[in-house]
Amino acid sequence: VNRDLVATPPHPSKRISDAVAANPDVVNLTVGEPSFGAPAAFLDRLSALVADGRGDPAGEYNRYAHSRGVAALRRAIAASYRSRYGLAVDPDTQLLVTHGAAEAIWLTVFTLTNPGDEVLMTDPCYMLYEPITVSLGRRPVRLRTSAGGGFRLSPEQVEEAAGDRARLLLLNSPNNPTGCVYDAGTLAALHAVAAARELTVMHDEVFDDYSYAGAHVPALAMDPQAERTVMVNSFSKRYGMTGWRLGWMLAAPAVVAEATKAHTYLSLSLGTAIQEAAAGIVGDEAVEREVRAHAEVMRERGRGFLDRLREIAGFGSVPAEPPGGGFYLFVPIGELAGRLGLDREPGSISIAVADLLLRTAGVAVVPGNGFGPGGEGYVRMSYAAPQERLDLALDRLRRCLEPTVGAH
Ligand SMILES: Cc1ncc(COP(=O)(O)O)c(C=O)c1O
């Protein structure tokens, strides 16, 4: 059995997600799945394709798609970079359609590094970055970010940490779990360091449309030829389509050519009909309006959730300002752990608090240290769930935590 894979532990939140799956009564604030669902335009188009295909068993949708992805979809994605940011992307050589952003991240690490190479990532960071790196026999280098600095990575940190074997910097903006958003100036400075150290910057921009602090800036804008940049994105968050498993990778032609080989050896290609249907919604004006409206609802939902959370005993010291992007709250739990007598828990306060909230309030959250040691002392709460589930979670937290006032 693959030694590197055996050495990669299952994710620490798996225990919590198993508990959620086993009990539908639990309010699940662990997953980032927008409650809006796929755009009607996508579903209508897919239904029409399927209806057409019934009469034609040898038809196109029963056949393999191109390994790089259906041409119409690649063209639509390329056009969206031009219309959103004025960036020219060649749909034939610079794009690869993938099984969600998750596969695109895996392909980026696999394609751009060799065993033993170092991959730089923030601490905390999205939970797939480290296991992908370790299971491929590459070495993760964690760069600590903290609440005091807005969880923003500084160019100086990269400069200091990038050794001879460093090849790749994994950036995520808007960020999961912290909500940090990188502005153009910081991205440009990070790019300058990356160029000096011969690193490629991967920008995971899956939360691009949930950017509340200003317009989203893709790292590609700092390097329009994508000489040292890989963009990773997907339909999951933007369109509320996590279950459809559709994403993409954008990079220099030589990188995409190699990544396409890996993608082909892994899975040949993605489903044809879903790609054809998806091609119709990228850049569609009505769908874009819908997405913007959803992002606005999400921002309001986050604001309301945070305000009410801060009124609950133990959460009073959570910062009043909502994060700049995404749909998670990264909640410091020092005060709560103190109230609950969990602050001396050996090893992990985050896990102890998450376990207790699950057991006693029936509310599932992710322990912060699941995102790296820098996440210890936090739990992540997703506010992407429907409003009534969020209301229920807040009611249960209040009922569960209020009686402990003065008990410790
Ligand atoms: C930062 C980040 N990147 C990538 C992904 C994976 O997205 P996809 O569903 O497109 O694979 C997620 C999912 O939560 C995420 O939060």
Is-cis flag, bond preceding 373, omega within 30? no
DSSP string, 122-186: EES--TTHHHHHHHTT-EEEEEE--GGGTTPPPHHHHHHH--TTEEEEEEESS-TTT-----HHH
Residue nearest to atom 7 of ligand 1 (CA): 101
Q: How much is the pLDDT for 52?
A: 83
Q: How much is the pLDDT for 1?
A: 95
Among the listed residues 232, 264, 236, the one whose alpha carbon sits nearest the alpha carbon of residue 248: 232
Pair of tokens at residue 203: 């920008």
Q: How much is the pLDDT for 346?
A: 67
CA distances, 201 to each of 101, 170, 175, 251 (Å): 15, 6, 15, 10
Alpha-carbon span 292 to 131, nearest angstrom = 33
Compute the distance from residue 33 Cα to the ligand 1 centre, in Å: 10
Q: Is 314 in the pocket of ligand 1 (CB under 6 A)?
A: no
CA distances, 32 to each of 29, 86, 202, 382 (Å): 8, 29, 21, 6
Query: Are 364 and 351 in contact, with CB atoms under 8 Å apart?
Result: no
| pTM for this entry | 0.96
Q: How much is the pLDDT for 251?
A: 98
Q: Is 179 in the pocket of ligand 1 (CB under 6 A)?
A: no
Residue nearest to atom 13 of ligand 1 (CA): 32
Pair of tokens at residue 151: 């969880």
Q: Is 206 in the pocket of ligand 1 (CB under 6 A)?
A: yes
Q: How much is the pLDDT for 192?
A: 97
Instruction: Outline where DSSP puts E strands in 173-243.
Output: 200-204, 229-234
Q: How much is the pLDDT for 53?
A: 79
Alpha-carbon span 216 to 83, nearest angstrom = 13
Provide the residue-wise pLDDT of the chain in tens; the chain has 408 residues. Answer: 999 999 998 876 777 888 888 898 999 999 888 989 999 999 999 999 988 877 787 778 889 999 999 999 999 999 999 999 999 999 999 999 999 999 999 999 999 999 999 999 999 999 999 999 999 999 999 999 999 999 999 999 999 999 999 999 999 999 999 999 999 999 999 999 999 999 999 999 999 999 998 899 999 999 999 999 999 999 999 999 999 999 999 999 999 999 999 999 999 999 999 999 999 999 999 999 999 999 999 999 999 999 999 999 999 989 999 999 999 999 999 999 999 998 876 678 999 999 999 999 999 999 999 999 999 999 999 999 999 999 999 999 999 998 654 544
Compute the distance from residue 407 Cα to the ligand 1 centre, in Å: 40
Apex CA 274: angle with CA 257 and CA 254, to 5°? 10
In what helix (H) or strand (E) does residue 16 lie, and over which residues does it extend?
helix 14-22
Alpha-carbon span 87 to 79, nearest angstrom = 9
Compute the distance from residue 374 Cα to the ligand 1 centre, in Å: 20
| Single-letter amino acid, residue 172 | N
Q: Is 102 in the pocket of ligand 1 (CB under 6 A)?
A: yes
Compute the distance from residue 126 Cα to the ligand 1 centre, in Å: 8
Q: Is 205 in the pocket of ligand 1 (CB under 6 A)?
A: no
Q: Is 141 in the pocket of ligand 1 (CB under 6 A)?
A: no
Instruction: Outline where DSSP puts E strands in 40-127.
Output: 95-98, 118-123
Query: Are 354 and 16 in contact, with CB atoms under 8 Å apart?
Result: yes
Alpha-carbon span 121 to 109, nearest angstrom = 12
Q: Is 244 in the pocket of ligand 1 (CB under 6 A)?
A: no
The pick from 126, 230, 382 for probing ligand 1's pocket by mutation, whose C-beta has the most ligand atoms within 8 angstroms, reads 126
Q: How much is the pLDDT for 403?
A: 64
Kindly report the backbone phi and psi dihedral angles of residue 397, in degrees, each rounded to the nearest multiple of 5, phi listed first. -60, -45
Compute the distance from residue 107 Cα to the ligand 1 centre, in Å: 14
